[in-house]
Amino acid sequence: MAVPKRKHSNSRTGKRRAHDALKPRQLSYCPQCSTALPTHVICPNCGHYMGRPVVEMAE
């Protein structure tokens, strides 16, 4: 079994983990009601997706 001969330095560990941080969700705006929502998601406010109604919303 392969075992490292020496401990990795904190700098080297940090370089490896440089891309592990959480990134904020990319938001788009609904063309019908202008609500900010994540991309590729049905609008919870009006029920539209890609410019057409998908879910009937109770008003």
Rounded CA separation 34/38 (Å):
12
Domain, as residue range, for 55: 26-59
**Per the structure, how many domains does the chain have?**
1
Secondary structure (H, E, C), the chain? CCCCCCCCCHHHHHHHHHHCCCCCCCEEECCCCCCEEECCCCCCCCCEECCEECCCCCC
Residues 1-58 pLDDT 10s: 899 999 999 999 999 999 999 999 999 999 989 999 999 999 998 999 988 898 887 7
Q: Is residue 40 part of a domain?
A: yes
Residue 19 lies in a domain: no
Q: Is residue 4 part of a domain?
A: no
HSE-CB at 12 with a 13 A cutoff on CA atoms is: 4
Tell me whether residue 11 is in a domain.
Answer: no
pTM above 0.75, yes or no: no
